């Protein structure tokens, strides 16, 4: 299956920044004269020190240095983070832009709510399902049908042994507002293997939802699936066997407290 889009694919790489020593007047002037900027990352070299928004500048003295008004406890993302996870961070926090830093904590880009919407529009197609179908056809040498139908969560065999509790919050938000993607399921001679959508399924179960929309891939004969072997090895029979990990948030989201 094709990998989900990452922040690195959709972020803006040419980022305008300001210095902590710049004055409120100087940054306000840049903001007014720029196109589409309502805030800037504050950097020293390539390291992120904070973020200053138009709201931060409103009541500040013109001569005040930016470090006195900027926000320093920021959420930042990593280029390898999935855009879907960045979207949940943006939705839950109410912020409009996430600075993106690399493994050395250097600023490499910025991703905005507009970038997230763009990625959602581009990926809201059955294209990724088609890629999975072609992959299975090539590996197993069989013909497959593709169907779109509602599936009962109770009939699904998971192929992933854990999900993250903080991601479930975002999935529930999406489900409650009709924003969730369909599941991807393989109907292997009547046994339904969940290929994609474990967080969505667990969030739906917590909300009392019993069935969900899904792309269902149906091979012409039973296949010896690698994901079926994984499920058997991990003892996964129903979604109740999936562990909810509540002690860690997404490993590619950090705050700038760590960077200082």
- Quick: pLDDT tens for 48-105: 999 999 989 998 999 999 999 999 988 899 999 988 888 888 877 777 788 999 988 8
Instruction: Convert the pLDDT of each residue in 123-160 to its tens digit.
Output: 545 667 887 888 888 888 889 998 999 999 999 999 99
- The residues, ordered by sequence, that sit 6+ positions from 85 with a Cβ below 8 Å of its Cβ are 167, 170, 250, 252, 253
Report pTM. Answer: 0.53
Asked if 157 and 191 count as a contact pair (C-beta separation under 8 A), the reply is yes
Q: Is the pLDDT of residue 260 over 50?
A: no
Domains of the chain and CATH, by start: 7-121 (3.10.580.10), 125-245 (3.90.1530.10)
Give the separation between CA 49 and CA 73, rounded to whole angstroms. Answer: 9
pLDDT at 91: 76
Ramachandran bin of 197, using left for φ above 0, alpha for ψ from -120 to 50, beta for the remaining angles? left
Give me 92's structure tokens. Answer: 């839950």
Strand partners, 146: 217
Residue 251: count other Cβ atoms within 10 Å of its Cβ. 10
Give the separation between CA 213 and CA 239, rounded to whole angstroms. Answer: 16
Asked if 24 and 69 count as a contact pair (C-beta separation under 8 A), the reply is yes
């Amino acid at each position: 299956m094709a990998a989900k889009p990452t922040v690195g694919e959709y972020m803006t790489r040419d980022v305008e920044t300001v210095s902590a020593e710049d004055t409120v007047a100087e940054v306000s002037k840049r903001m007014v004269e720029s196109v589409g900027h309502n805030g800037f990352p504050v950097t020293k070299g390539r390291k992120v020190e904070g973020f200053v928004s138009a709201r931060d500048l409103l009541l500040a003295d013109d001569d005040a240095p930016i470090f006195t008004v900027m926000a320093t406890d920021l959420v930042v993302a990593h280029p390898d983070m999935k855009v879907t996870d960045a979207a949940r961070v943006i939705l839950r926090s109410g912020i409009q832009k996430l600075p993106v830093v690399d493994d050395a904590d250097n600023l490499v880009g910025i991703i905005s709510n507009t970038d997230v919407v763009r990625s959602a529009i581009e990926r809201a197609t059955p294209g990724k399902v088609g890629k999975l179908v072609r992959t299975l056809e090539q590996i197993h040498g069989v013909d497959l049908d593709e169907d779109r139908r509602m599936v009962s969560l109770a009939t699904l065999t998971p192929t992933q042994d854990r999900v993250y509790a903080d991601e479930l919050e975002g999935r529930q938000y999406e489900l409650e507002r009709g924003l969730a993607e369909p599941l991807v399921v393989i109907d292997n001679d009547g046994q339904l293997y969940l290929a994609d959508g474990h967080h969505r399924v667990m969030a739906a179960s917590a909300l009392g939802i019993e069935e969900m929309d899904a792309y269902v891939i149906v091979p012409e004969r039973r296949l010896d699936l690698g994901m079926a072997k994984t499920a058997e090895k991990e003892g996964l029979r129903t979604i109740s066997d999936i562990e909810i990990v509540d002690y860690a948030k997404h490993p590619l989201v950090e705050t700038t407290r760590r960077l200082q």
